[in-house]
Structure formats: C-alpha cells, structure tokens
Structure 1
Amino acid sequence: MVSEDSLIIKALWFDDLKAYEYSRPIYGELFDRTGEEEFLFREMRSALLSRTFINESIDRLELWDKKHPDTLDAKRLLIPLYLTANQGERAQEESMYLLERSQQVMDLELVSNALLYNAEFERALQLLKRVYDETLHEGILLRVATIMDEYTGQRKEAIALLETHRRMHISSQSVYFKLLKLYMKENDINGLISTYEALYELEGDENYIRKIIDAYVYKRDLEGAMAFLEKHREGHEDILYDLYKVTRSYEKAILLVDYFYSQDNDAKWLAEKGILLFEQAEDKDDKTMLKEVISHFEKAIEGGVDDSIYLNYYGYTLIDKEFDINKGISIVEDALRQQPDNTFYLDSLAWGYYKQKKCKKAYELMKKVIEREGLEQEEIKDHWDAIQNCK
C-alpha cells in the first residue's frame, strides 16, 4: 500500500499542475483512510476546480455535514457545489444558514453568489457593496457595477461608484474600460472623453488621442478638440492643422504651416500657406494679398509641387481674380491632365473660357459639370448663370 505521505506529495504535485481531476481521488482516498476533514475539504475543492464528480462530492460532503452540522467550512463548500450542480434552492438554504452565523467578507461574497443565481439581485447587491466597502477590491466593484447596470436599473449610480473609485484609488484598466462601456450605453460623450483623457494620462497610449478626437468630432465640439490637441500637440500637429483649417482658425494654421516648413522644407507648405493667406483675407481682391498668394504658389511650383489640388486652386485664383487668365487656364489644364474627369477642375476651366469670352466652349464644358454635380453648390450655380448669359 502506498504510504499516506506519498499520496499527499502526489496530490500536491497534481495541484501544482492544476490537474485537479487527478488530485481529487487521491484526497478522497486520504480522507477515507484517515477521516481527517482537511483531506475531505481538499477533495471538494479539487472537484469544484475540475468540475468533475460534483454530485458524488455533494453526497460525500452532505454525509459528513450531518455528523458535523456546525462546521461552517462545510457550508462554504456545499454552496458552490450546489450552484455547480444547478441546485439553486439548496445553495440558498445553506447561504442563509451561513449568513446568520458569519459576517466575514468572504462569506458575504459567497452568499451573494447564491442570491445572484436565484435572481435576488437587490439582496446580492447589498452584500457585495458591503464587501467592496471593506475591501475596496476592484473585482467586487466591477461585479457591483455590472449588477447595477444590467439588473437593478442603476447605471448612473454604477458610473458614480466607478468614478469615485478611479479618482480616489489606483485603478487598473478594467475600471476605465467598464466606465467606457457604461458611458457608451448612456451616450455620454463627455464621460467618454474624460475617461479616455484619464487613460491617456495614465498610460500615454497614442491610440487614446485618436479616440478623444473622434469623440470631440462626434459631439461637434471642434473647439474642445483643438484645445485638447494644443495641450498634447507633439506628434499630432497634422490633426491640429486640419482642425484649424476646418474651423477657419487661419492665423493659427499659418503659424503651424511655418513650423512644418521649418522642419522639412517641403514646398507643399508654401502652397498651403498661399491658400490660407487667400482664405484669411477679408478683401479677396486686395492686390497686395494676391501678390503674396501668387508668390507662395510660384515658389511651391518651383519647389516641385504638382499636386492637382494645388494647381487647380492656384489656376482658378489667377482666372477668377483676372490676374493672369491665360496662365490660370494653363495651370488648370495641368491639373486636368492628372484628373481629367474632376468636375471641380472642369468648372475652373469653363470659368477661364468665360473670362476669355469663349462662350460656346465655356457653355459646353459647364453643361457637363452641372449634368454631374447639379446646381446645389452656390459657386457652380453662379458660374452656370453667368455662362448662360455669356455673349
């Protein structure tokens, strides 16, 4: 016969391997040999951890419990065994017995499991709140928040609880992610933003920057997005620049363009500055301003810029302001060589023909534009009205 010491060593070895289905029968044999409750309880724990021989384990523990009815450790094992065997009523009976005799934190949590199984959410919630108040354990807090959100209709209270915890205690990602989930359910964009900002401050993950900006854009708070990026500008200047343009914050955009150009000497920034200078001007016919705009575009083209967007913008400006119509048409034609079907470029060319009094060519080209784009855009409509009256 194998000695008890050898069996103990073997069972502990299986436990270390988390092979509880193998340690369970060994502890059972040790209990049968010695009658020591420690081996019986280890047998029950192994059954629970391996989820094997649950009913057989219940029978064995119940038999022992009848002989030792005041042993709370037996109750602590019977409750999860009953729950695993889907015997909710019996689990609750044992839970109530345990609750009458113990207010230990671990017992309150154990009893709450039986109450949750039996859909007594309010009672379970009260016990878990007591456990959390005593331990400040995040796992308990997250369970409390889930119950409040999904079962007791207290989502806002759950958010308040989580917010208080994260502000007063060092918190893991799980608390922040739970908050994000609840804020999303509430469609609380400000809550999402504040949580993502806190996560960014905590971890410095650049992905949170994008999520913060997306949230600001979703709520149409571009000013808020800019204010945030101005505090966290490094590495995100491109997004900030786009926001400056969208919000027509031209002075700030020009400063940023100058910064970009000082960093990489890319001639496209000269073209960008030309656009900004023109868009910023209150008087679009100001000759001094137009000369400066043209100077920037000329330098950009000399520097190798041939993007059709810049070419069309520059060419159209030369045409519309009658600064140099022939040159403007030539530049727009360069843009059309890159994108021959671009209706906005065709509109620019038609406008050039109109300015040259080539009415038939302007009309035929503009007709194609409105066939594709319609007359919803004001500039296209103005051009069409003018070209129809061209003589």
Structure 2
Amino acid sequence: MKKVRLAFGLVLLLLITGCSVKQPPVGKKVIPDEDNYIIKALFYENNNKVDQAVKIYKFLYEKTDKPVYYEKMIEDLFYLKKYQKVIALSDKYLKKSFDKKIFMYKIFALLELKKVNEAKKELLTKLNKKDDFFYKMMAFIYLKEHKYAQAAKYLKSLYAMTHDKQTLLQLVDILIKLKKYNEALAYLRTHLDMYGCEYDICLRLAIIYKQTYDYSNLATIYEKMGKFDRKYLMFALRIYLDNGNYKKALQLINKNNLGDEYKLIVYETAKNYKKAAFYAMKLYEKTAKLPYLLKYCTYSYEANPTKATAKKIIPKLKYLLKFYPSAYLYNFLGYIMIDNNINVKEGLKYVQKALELHPDNEEYIDSLAWGYYKLGKCKEALEIIQNVHLKDKEILKHKILIKKCVKAENDIRKNYKSNKKRSFKKKK
C-alpha cells in the first residue's frame, strides 16, 4: 500500500503542495465504538488491506453521515485504482453537496482514465474561477499533458491571487523550461523585493543567472544567500576575484566579518604585494603559523626588491629553514643574498642545497649561474645558464649580462695577446 501511495504522491506533488483542501474533523462520536472502527480501518490500510478499510469507512458514513468517512472511502478506492467507482460515488455525493476533496479525486480519476477534456469541463462548470483550487487543478492538467505554456498561464493567475511561494517556483521552473528567462527573472525579482531572500527563490535566481552567464547578479544573489549557508559567500567571493572586482570582494569580507585570511587572499590575487605582506605578518603574529611568515617574506621582497628588504627578511628565512628545509626556501634565500651582493658565496651554498633537492629546476640553475656571474666567473656561469630554457624576463636579463661578460673577457684576452705580439716584434 505504501508503495502505491508513494508512486501517485510523486504525480500529485505539483497540486498538493500548498493545496487548501482540508480534511474535516471526525467530531463527536455518533455510534458506540466509533473510535475502534477508525483504528481498525487504519490498521487495514497500514497492512495493505485497503478494500477492508473501504468497507469500514462506508459503514461509518452510513451510520454517522460524516463527510470525512466518505472522503476516506473515495481516497482508498482511488489508491486501489478503482477509478470508475471513484467517479460514480463522487457524482452521487456531489449532487447533494459539494466537497472539494471528493471533487479533486474525481478529477484525478478522470485523468487516470485519459478523460482529460471531461476533467477540464468539470472544472470549468463546477468551480468558481475566483477559486484558487480551480487554477491549481487546471495547471496540473496542462502539466500532465506537457502543455507548459497553458500551465504557465494558469499558474500566473494563481500567483496573482495568492502570491504563494510554491506557486511561483512552479511557474518559474516552467518558464525556465520554455527558456523565458527574462520573464522568470521579473517574477522572482519582484517577489524578492516584496518578501526578501527566501532560500528557494534566491536559488532559482542563482540558477538563471548561472545559465545566462550573468555573474555580476549571480554574485549579488550568492551574497544574499550567505545567511543560509556561508558557502555562498565563498561562491560570491570567488566570482569577485575571478572578475578582478577586488573592491566588492573586500566589502563582502568586511560586511560578513570573514577575517584577515580572506583579505590576504584578495591582495594576493590582486598582486598588491605590499598589502599582502602586511596581512601575512598580521596573521603570523596572531597565529604563529610559519606559512604566514614565509608569505610575509615573499611578498615583502616582491613589493620592494631592494638590499634593505633582503637584509630584513634573511634572518626570518634562515629561521624558517630550521622547520622547512625546502628547495624553494633554499633558493629564495640564496638568490636574494646573491642578487643584492650581501654574501654571494654563502648564497651559492643555499642554491646548491636547493639543486640537491631538485637538480632539474631551471630557476634554481639560473640562481647558480647568477652566483658565478657575481663572483666574476662568467665562463662557468654561461655554461650553466645555457641549460636554462625558460622564457622568464629576469632569466633573459641574466643571460644577456653573462654573455656580455664572457664577450668582454674574450676581448680582453684578444687585446692582451695582440699587445703581447706587438711588444715582442718591437723587441726584435
């Protein structure tokens, strides 16, 4: 029984959501043991003996004349797929009194029997067009027929009457299916302005903005959805960073108190190394986490690659090496010592340690060549840097200077030999 109810429940989802049909209360007992009969009927339903439950509800209705028992009888007959009986019994009851729930099951029975036109006729003649139930049923029928434009028409009328969120979501889903994105957006934005960011409404807006590549509005909606889940703030932040809108990214961080970690990410992405260094040090002082200290050293030098900056961060890099003896750190420390002529020989030792860990890294090979150049060993430097093929601006500059140095050395040797020959000839 449960499986049958579940299967049909999926079909009825559109209609039942927000449906105004109410089940009448049982009220005062009219016959002795009335409660016992109800319990017995429920027992039969739960044990898949629905036909037995129907008999009990029929008996209870005949004895009490309470509409709730007739409704239950009709409902169980529908789940037993006795559609013709549902229609016959519904007609019998509806002749003397209109009951919305019984009428609903009659419409469903007609639809199951493929009598769609008859179902529509019943709705048009039996229901007042000011009744929201009429529009729900008509929309349901057209959806069942896959006539989405007609279904949308009735849902628009229904939404105009009720301003119900579920109706709006159903309407928007149909409009999206019909690729009427602007119309769907108009409905959603109006609802948003009137009632604020309800999760389902904002989620539909996000779906449309994503499908139409409107990332600016998508980020705005994600910000609003941050009150439901902070992951949406991260989605918004990612969009701002990807689009280079660093001002909005910082506003989002400040507004939602996301913290200095995210400010650091913004300044890293923006390549604002001075600010990045500031926040890296601030976070290091707050947490004592060494990766922040490394970031401070890196960004400080990126922001101001001078001898003064190098001298300031060298002790910190040496301290970091005690905990992270990585190739990157060895090379970074060695290179700034070489490049700023602080201690070229010591710098070369650090670079060589980096190469021991990663012998094929062309940046480290360049650092080694640059060290030899600084020591005036241009020929050795040229032999080393010829193994570097990276198209890096700094490396290309090193290559030019090293080649000039070798050429100058060769010119000196040529001049020396030439002068020596002349001197020898004069002596003769």
TM-score scaled by length of structure 1 = 0.80
What are structure 2's unaligned runs of at least 5 residues?
1-31, 407-428
Greater alpha carbon shift after TM alignment, 2-11 vs 79-88: 2-11
Check the 8 A contact 1:125/1:147 in 2, yes or no: yes
Check the 8 A contact 2:338/2:347 in 1, yes or no: yes
Q: Which residue number corresponds to residue 249 of structure 1?
A: 272
Q: Which residue number corresponds to residue 362 of structure 2?
A: 343
Report the CA distance shift for 1:263/1:352 in structure 2 as closer, same or farther (over 3 A): same
| Structure with the greater alpha carbon radius of gyration | 2
Check the 8 A contact 1:233/1:240 in 2, yes or no: no
Q: Which residue number corresponds to residue 357 of structure 1?
A: 376
Q: Which residue number corresponds to residue 279 of structure 1?
A: 302
Name the CA distance, whole Å, in 2 between partners of 1:277 and 1:298. 14
Where do residues 1-391 of structure 1 align in structure 2 (5 Å cutoff)? 6-12=36-42, 19=46, 22-23=49-50, 25-28=52-55, 30-31=57-58, 38-48=68-78, 52-54=79-81, 56=82, 58-67=83-92, 70=95, 72-73=98-99, 74-99=102-127, 101-151=128-178, 153-169=179-195, 172-200=198-226, 202-203=227-228, 205-235=229-259, 237-266=260-289, 269-281=292-304, 284=305, 289-302=306-319, 304=322, 306-370=325-389, 373=390, 375=391, 377-391=392-406
Which string of whole-angstrom CA distances, capped at 9 and with x for unpartnered residues, describes residues 119-155 of structure 1?
Answer: 443333233233323333221111011111113x422
Report the CA distance shift for 1:268/1:290 in structure 2 as closer, same or farther (over 3 A): farther
Name the CA distance, whole Å, in 2 between partners of 1:379 and 1:47. 84
Name the CA distance, whole Å, in 2 between partners of 1:267 and 1:115. 64
Name the CA distance, whole Å, in 2 between partners of 1:154 and 1:86. 30
Percent of paired sites with the same residue: 23
Check the 8 A contact 1:145/1:158 in 2, yes or no: yes
Report the CA distance shift for 1:277/1:33 in structure 2 as closer, same or farther (over 3 A): closer
Name the CA distance, whole Å, in 1 between partners of 2:394 and 2:303. 19
Check the 8 A contact 1:113/1:124 in 2, yes or no: yes
Check the 8 A contact 1:78/1:94 in 2, yes or no: no
Give 1:227's aligned amino acid: Q
Name the CA distance, whole Å, in 2 between partners of 1:182 and 1:20. 46
Which string of whole-angstrom CA distances, capped at 9 and with x for unpartnered residues, describes residues 307-356 of structure 1?
Answer: 43333223222222333222221222233333333222222112222333
Name the CA distance, whole Å, in 2 between partners of 1:93 and 1:267. 76
Report the CA distance shift for 1:38/1:296 in structure 2 as closer, same or farther (over 3 A): closer
- C-alpha deviation, 1:38, in angstroms: 4.6
- C-alpha deviation, 1:85, in angstroms: 4.8
- C-alpha deviation, 1:34, in angstroms: 5.3
Name the CA distance, whole Å, in 1 between partners of 2:198 and 2:44. 32
Name the CA distance, whole Å, in 1 between partners of 2:49 and 2:111. 22
- C-alpha deviation, 1:185, in angstroms: 1.1
RMSD of aligned alpha carbons:
3.2
Report the CA distance shift for 1:185/1:270 in structure 2 as closer, same or farther (over 3 A): closer
Greater alpha carbon shift after TM alignment, 178-187 vs 267-276: 267-276
Report the CA distance shift for 1:105/1:329 in structure 2 as closer, same or farther (over 3 A): same
- C-alpha deviation, 1:107, in angstroms: 2.7
Give the 3-state SS of the residue equivalent to 1:369 in structure 2.
coil
Report the CA distance shift for 1:117/1:322 in structure 2 as closer, same or farther (over 3 A): same
Check the 8 A contact 1:23/1:43 in 2, yes or no: no
> How many residues end up aligned between the 2 structures?
367
Check the 8 A contact 1:129/1:144 in 2, yes or no: yes
Name the CA distance, whole Å, in 2 between partners of 1:185 and 1:329. 55
What are structure 1's unaligned runs of at least 5 residues?
none
TM-score scaled by length of structure 2 = 0.74
- C-alpha deviation, 1:360, in angstroms: 4.3
- C-alpha deviation, 1:92, in angstroms: 2.7
Which string of whole-angstrom CA distances, capped at 9 and with x for unpartnered residues, describes residues 224-275 of structure 1?
Answer: 323322444544x333213213323234223313312321345554553343
Which string of whole-angstrom CA distances, capped at 9 and with x for unpartnered residues, describes residues 176-217 of structure 1?
Answer: 2222212211111122211211111x23x3322321222223
Report the CA distance shift for 1:233/1:311 in structure 2 as closer, same or farther (over 3 A): farther
Check the 8 A contact 2:215/2:239 in 1, yes or no: yes
Name the CA distance, whole Å, in 2 between partners of 1:59 and 1:268. 75
Report the CA distance shift for 1:345/1:159 in structure 2 as closer, same or farther (over 3 A): same
Greater alpha carbon shift after TM alignment, 358-367 vs 140-149: 358-367
Greater alpha carbon shift after TM alignment, 29-38 vs 5-14: 29-38
